[in-house]
Structure 1
């Protein structure tokens, strides 16, 4: 039996050697996978020390990153690759695709030596190659001391430049390895943007590629087009067209948003602590929107976001019960909810513990201006929550067609936290 296993491994390795020169051959023979045109260009791009892929959402970045990582692991025996992102969950997206392919495809399955999911997911092949996942949390402490031949920074625009330059690049220094920056566009003039421009300008050390969501034939194009009315032009260009846009007119500056979550390592929900002052803000769902709860520890500044819940299609009595449960769990000093329209129905159920605010042009201006000041002054800290971060960046003063549930819940919580030195709300505006 061992001889048969050895012969099988030799055959697989011989096949790998034959397919090493062509990622597309690897896709066809090993995976039975057909990349779309943009993915084909990426897979067949010339080797560069830095590769940059900036695209719209649902383009297939995580999928093609997984395929490329497997090809590299199979055809470069003894290589070590890392997938890094702002959270472990984000970093695992490509890794999980790679594992699914290994489980599905016989040739790959024959090469798997070991799969470990804790503390950090790691795949080891019989070729001696390794693919591991790391989070960039705690200023990259889980990366320091490691040596990689290749690092994939997934959603790299969410990472700080300092972490990429001082931590991630140093993991490649021993072997002159490859840095792969993959992202939906966020910060114009940030590191990913600059590397992209270098590659597009012909720098021989950088390969750069952009792509729109439309390049993926597997997404519902009519559905994507219908989202346009719910997005600002800037958000549409970033999220769908995969283009960087000027954010000079943004309500919340990207650098300030990043400062709010960078270096935050605690998990949600954070348990209540005696002697702390907690407040809750709740934005209620309208139609297909989301109900969002935000709880802040407002004992001192910067405020700490300690609980975040987001759900939809829930009956109003259940929403009222959740508001009450969260309020009692944290013994909130104040709970402030959106009492606009049907929100008044929910307020009637929790009026003994909560106050309501009817959204008007004046109240929203006051709420958002207050939140703007809190974020600009770096008086708020929260763990990375992608829905919240993306809504903050996409928010515009004309928000009638935007998704704003997370922003408004946070604004309500910050208002409840008070006191406010620069903005005040007239008593007549409270319900």
Structure 2
């Protein structure tokens, strides 16, 4: 490594060289061979594109004001701190500032970091500031090891993954609000925001939204209760019966789905807050918001999260003032092993979900032997606001009850063997004004 004195001389030389470049030009600054050092308290401006084909070493007190259109790291290039770290780098602060064009417009900037989120390998930024009203867009995965701060504009993930954190700790996110956040895209898959090494019992915020519109800012606040975790998250428009496909569930949801990937092999308990915008609510959800809660998609169906608290307003997952047109739902649940899971909000589980979850037996044998003596409806306890009616073959009602459970099951007492018709009514919202899901089928009594 170069001597400290020689490195600092090079840093001063770069400072004067780059600051004398003409502002309108988009000529490239090349780092071809050897090491370029940006020393302590050096503040430089780069007005053209930067192409890093070697290595850039920066001090933690250095500042780089990048006003070019593209920052490009080539294969084999490095971004290092003074201790030679790359994947846990604590180096300079790099601020993306646009060149102002005519009529107070700005040019979007791009980053091709040549980092791999799959292997956690490649050049990493220590401290990044997004300060471009037109935003900064990824052309590859990116890693920020220490701090990412929003001052203006969005960071567009564009099908890539932004990793916040190093091999040893999570990164901090500052300045996020409904006008500056990570844009993951409108459709499932592709873009992800990952936080590495999330400490136990500490809050972490995923400030993200589907598109660069304040009404699509849908952040998450997450706490890992049992262990360190690497969590990847994204959000997309729509809530579907099969999470990413199937029928669209609009009326009783917020038309938004949050997607998570858990990396650890061990089970873990999570506490989270999901924030949505009121303009995205379906009509049933909007009218029954007080009864809303979080649903999780696991094992092929949507289920209510066991522990949930009522919705609260205004939205408070922000570093600015609370957002009046937003609301927050809280939930707690356990996830086992490495897995993917989806979350959304319901004013009661959406129509069609009880059909997927309930499993009524089709034959029961009430002969007193203690086996299969009742008409069991597996998972009915998940829908306590229910009504069950049973008819004989001539359409006469032979049984009717509400809140069907193990204590009031149909026993077929006094009825002959044969086939009967049942109707199960599920009230999803615990409100008389809500839509009711109806499930029909046949049951056979066989002694």
Q: Same fold (TM over 0.5)?
A: no
Q: Please indicate the TM-score interval, normalised by the length of the shorter structure.
A: under 0.3
Tell me the TM-score normalised to structure 1 length: 0.27
Tell me the TM-score normalised to structure 2 length: 0.27
Higher strand share: 2
Higher helix share: 1
Higher relative contact order (CA 8 A, sep 6+): 1
Larger Rg: 2
